[in-house]
Amino acid sequence: MVRQATWLCAILIVTQSGVLLADSGLPNLEFNGFGTLGVVHSDERNADFVADPFASEGAGYSDDWSAEVDSRLGLQATLRMTPQISSVVQVVSEKRYDGSFAPAIEWANVQYDVTPDLSLRIGRMVQSSFMTSEHRKVNYATPWIRPPQEVYRLMPVANFDGVDMRYRYQNGSASNELQLNFGGGSVEYQTGSIDASDSWGVSHRTHWGNTTLFASYGELKVSADELTQFFDAYRLFGPSGEKLASRYEVDGKRMRLMNLGASYDPGTWFVMGEWARSSSPSLLGEGEGAYMTFGYRIAEWTPYVGVARAKVTSNTSEPGLNAALYPPPFAEGAQVLNGILNELISSGMQQESITVGARWDFRPGMALTAQYDHIDMRSGSSGGLINQQPEFTPGERINLFSLALDFVF
C-alpha cells in the first residue's frame, strides 16, 4: 500500500484532481514539477520509433540510442486565491515537431469550487478520454515508461481550450466522479496542424475499495489544411473525384471515441487494462486498441508485464480513380493521387506488442525503470514509425529497450 500511496501523491501533485495547500492564509502559491530522463534503443534501422507521433526524430534511423523519445520536464504553479477559486499553469518541455524542446502549455485554467463536490474550470485542460489522460506525461505516476500507444494514440488532439465540470458523489462505499467538458484545440506537426473543434466528452470514474472502473465517450471535429488541399485536387477530376473526396475528406465530419477501463490494486500487486474504439466517416476510419498490464511489488521493486493490440476495422485500401478514363497528364495525376490516398488509408496502426519491465523506487520521488518491448506490426502496418526510409519494410517486428529515470518534486 505504501507504493500505491506514493503513486497517488504524484498524481495529485501534477493533475487537477486536487492540490493540498497550506492553511496559513490566502492567496497561496505552490510550485511542483516532474520529469523523465530516458534513452531508447530500437533495432529497426530504417525508421524511427517515437512516443509522440508528431515528433521529428526518434530511436532507430536517426539515433541508435535516443535520449529524445521519452525525456521531458514539466513545471506547475498552483495559486489558491480564495477558498473557492484556484488557478494552475503547467508547462512541459519535450521533443517537438520542429526538433526543439521549446516549452508548451499543457494546463492553464481557473477553477471555481461551487461546492466541495462540484467544481467548474475554464481554460486549457486535457481531454479525459483515458484512465491516465491527465497524468499521461508524468511517467512517475504510471507503471510504464510510456502509456501503451495502441490505445493512447487514438485521440489525435489531447489538449483543449474550453470549459469543464466535475461532480463527485458517494454511492454506498463507492466514490464516483462525473466529468463533462467542451471546447477545441490543435496540435502542430512539421508541415501543418491538426485542429479539433466542437469537441465534447463525458467520463465517469468509480473507486470501490481496491477497484477502479472508468468509462468515457467523446466527439470532435477534426480538420487539417493539407488534407483539405489534397481532396480539392481530387475534385478536379469531375464527379468521380468529387465522390471520393466526399467519402474520405475529414473536414466537417465528427470523430467518436469510446473507452472502457478497469484496475485492481490491493497494494502488493496490480492489474489494469483499457479498451478503446474510434470511428469517423472519413479517411480516419475505424480502429480499436486494448492493453492489459500486470505488476507485482517487492519492496522497492515492481516488475511488470503487459500485452497490447491495435487494429483497423475499416477498409485499408481504395481503388480510387480509374486512370484509364483520363488523358495524359491527368492519368498520371490520378495514379499519384490514388497512391497517396492508399498510403493514408493504410497508415492506421495495426500491431501487437509484449512489454516486460521493472521499476526501482530507490528514493522518495524518484524511480528508475527498465523496459523491453517486442512489437509485431501486422497487415503491412508501419506501426506508427516515422522517418521511413526506402529500405523500410512495413509489417515487420521490432524490439525496443528503454531506460528512464522519473522524478517528481
Delimit the domains of the chain by residue range: 2-408
Query: Is the model more confident about 121 or about 54?
Result: 121
Is the pLDDT at 55 greater than 80, yes or no? yes
Mean pLDDT along residues 377-394:
88
- From first CA to last CA, the distance across the chain in angstroms is 21
Spatial separation of the C-alpha atoms in residues 358 and 354, rounded to whole Å: 14
Spatial separation of the C-alpha atoms in residues 50 and 72, rounded to whole Å: 13
Length of the chain: 409
Is the pLDDT at 42 greater than 90, yes or no? yes
CATH 2.40.160.10 corresponds to the domain 2-408: yes
Q: Which cell is 291 given?
A: 492493453
DSSP assignment of 281-349 equals: SSTT-EEEEEEEEEEE-BTTEEEEEEEEEEEE-S--------GGGS-TTHHHHHHHHHHHHHHHHTTS-
Mean pLDDT along residues 98-115:
95
Residue 24: what pLDDT?
A: 52
If you average pLDDT over every residue of the chain, what do you get? 91
Spatial separation of the C-alpha atoms in residues 35 and 13, rounded to whole Å: 13
Mean pLDDT along residues 221-232:
88
- DSSP class of 102: -
208 Cβ contact list (under 8 Å, min separation 6): 173, 174, 175
Exposure string for 153-186, b = 16+ CB within 10 A, e = fewer: bbbbbbbbbbbbebebeeeeeeeebebebebbbe
Is the pLDDT at 108 greater than 50, yes or no? yes
Residue 69: φ, ψ to 5°: -70, -50
- Of 326, 311, 321, 324, nearest to 342 (Cα)? 321
Residue 408: what pLDDT?
A: 97
- DSSP class of 63: B
Mean pLDDT along residues 373-393:
90
Residue 388: φ, ψ to 5°: -70, 130
Please report, to the nearest 10 degrees, the dihedral formed by the alpha carbons of residues 220, 193, 106, 72 taken in order.
130
Tracing cell 495514379 back to the chain, one arrives at 335
Radius of gyration of the chain (CA): 22
Tracing cell 526543439 back to the chain, one arrives at 100
- DSSP class of 133: S
Residue 20: what pLDDT?
A: 43
Q: How far is CA 83 from CA 32, 80, 140, 273, in A?
A: 20, 7, 29, 37
Q: Which cell is 113 given?
A: 469550487
Q: Which cell is 168 given?
A: 463527485
> CB–CB of 398/43 below 8 Å?
yes
Spatial separation of the C-alpha atoms in residues 152 and 129, rounded to whole Å: 9
Tens digit of pLDDT for each residue in 14-41? 444 444 444 456 789 999 999 999 999 9
H helices present in 15-89, as ranges: none
Q: How confident is the model at residue 139 (pLDDT cuts 50, 70, 90)?
A: very high
> CB–CB of 250/226 below 8 Å?
no
Which residues share a beta bridge with 403? Answer: 39, 370
> CB–CB of 251/228 below 8 Å?
yes
Spatial separation of the C-alpha atoms in residues 377 and 349, rounded to whole Å: 8
- DSSP class of 380: T
Amino acid in the structure at residue 126: V
Residue 97: what pLDDT?
A: 87
Spatial separation of the C-alpha atoms in residues 365 and 362, rounded to whole Å: 9
Residue 380: what pLDDT?
A: 79
163 Cβ contact list (under 8 Å, min separation 6): 120, 121, 122, 181, 182, 183
